[in-house]
Structure 1
Amino acid sequence: MAESGAVAGVERHGRPRDPENDAAILNAALDLLIERGATGTSIEAVAQRAGVAKLTVYRRWRSKEDLLMAALEHARAPDMDAAPAGQSIDELISSIAELLSRPRFRALMARVIGASVDYPQLVSAYTERYLRPRLDALTETARQAIDAGNFPPHTDPRVIQDILTGSIGFVLLQHEQDVTAAQVEQRLQALLRHIGYQP
């Protein structure tokens, strides 16, 4: 994400950026987003949590929305990227289940979903940069599984996508802290079997 009025690594007033400050600010923003939601998070609170001056935050990010989007990007792990080409449905389900078993990830995604009313631009940006490529990859994986005979021939890959994303959304909105990867995987497999999935 392009920063407002600054070249990468340099603050607006020409001073070198401190990577430790950047990390502290982004981690603080992420923690507060999970704890309080987007509405309850402020630049002032982020600065206080990160142990920096408020001006230090504003030099890097022009608005709270910019900061929260950067924090979401900062939170991404390699295993949260889109499914690689050729990945099977079973492999996809296994990776989704492992991700959904992480309480912090579920809490973060629930906060993103909850921000859709007050911060639609934040959610739209997150959807286009993060969710859309993954949904497209999911649809392609479903199409390959249909071609391979794992589903009835006339199955619509978008139905598979809808079933998986709907179930993922349901898990994200649960408040239990002890959801296991095995439980999520069992649920997703059971749903797909109802529309004729054969591993």
Structure 2
Amino acid sequence: MASVERHGRPRDPGNDAAILEAALDLLIERGAAGTSIEAVAQRAGVAKLTVYRRWRSKDDLLMAALEHARGADLDAPPAGQSVDELVSSIAELLSQPRFRTLMARVIGASVDYPDLVTAYRARYLQPRLDTLPEIARRAINAGQLPGETDPGVISDILSSAIGFVLLHQEEMTAAEIEGRLRGLLRHIGYQAVPT
């Protein structure tokens, strides 16, 4: 996030939050191309100059809005998380219509706003993907996956299923998404821990 520092009156943190919420709402409603600094300022109830004092460009503002939207559920999975826990957390996140729409908007911006997608991938997606090989290795060592399983396959399967859910037009519940993910994993020999 590239904020612009200026001297003068102290910044109002309430304005910062209102601007970031407005930018996020407009990104979800209209996409990156349909979001403008003017529209963000109007939605936030601030002057356009107030936005430009904080962010140099729309790209910077949208990246800051994504960072603002980030909650604990978008952090990388905690160390020691199991495949079952990972599947449950992914399903819960993907069942949230606002999150699904946001992700679809970010993916849709890849042609015209490649920096936005690159920032999303580096800050949110890659840290999650980087944990998958270790999660898969633990599952292999525990006998939940066949010994010859390539940990990269787990990443491919989950990424593909996530893409399917994001492109799916109808809302899906966490249970439906979790069932789909578990079904795919069963096809490569995954055995869940009995509850």
Q: Which residue of 2 aligns with 1:192?
A: 185
TM normalised by structure 2 equals 0.96
Give the Cα separation in 2 of the matches to 1:125 and 1:139: 22
- 1:124 pairs with one of 118, 123, 128: 118
Q: Which residue of 1 aligns with 2:68?
A: 74
User: 1:49-128 counterparts in 2 under 5 A?
Assistant: 49-128=43-122
Give the Cα separation in 1 of the matches to 2:30 and 2:60: 17
> SS state of the match for residue 79, structure 1?
helix
Give the Cα separation in 2 of the matches to 1:161 and 1:33: 28
Give the Cα separation in 1 of the matches to 2:129 and 2:24: 24
State the Cα distance separating 1:2 from its structure 2 match: 4.1
Q: Deviations over 1:120-176 (max 9, x none)?
A: 011111111111101101222112111221110010000011000110111012222
Please, what is the CA RMSD of the aligned residues?
Answer: 0.9
Give the Cα separation in 2 of the matches to 1:21 and 1:142: 44
Q: Which residue of 2 aligns with 1:9?
A: none
TM normalised by structure 1 equals 0.94
| One-letter amino acid of the counterpart of residue 194, structure 1 | H
| One-letter amino acid of the counterpart of residue 3, structure 1 | S
Q: Deviations over 1:39-96 (max 9, x none)?
A: 0100000000100000000000000000000000101111221110111100110011
> SS state of the match for residue 65, structure 1?
helix
> SS state of the match for residue 32, structure 2?
helix
**Residue 137 (structure 1) aligned with residue 127 (structure 2):** no
Q: Which residue of 2 aligns with 1:3?
A: 3
| One-letter amino acid of the counterpart of residue 14, structure 1 | G
Give the Cα separation in 2 of the matches to 1:39 and 1:79: 27
Runs of 4+ deviating beyond 6 Å: none
Structure 2: gaps of 5 or more residues:
none
Structure 1: gaps of 5 or more residues:
7-11
| One-letter amino acid of the counterpart of residue 187, structure 1 | R
Q: How many residues align?
A: 192
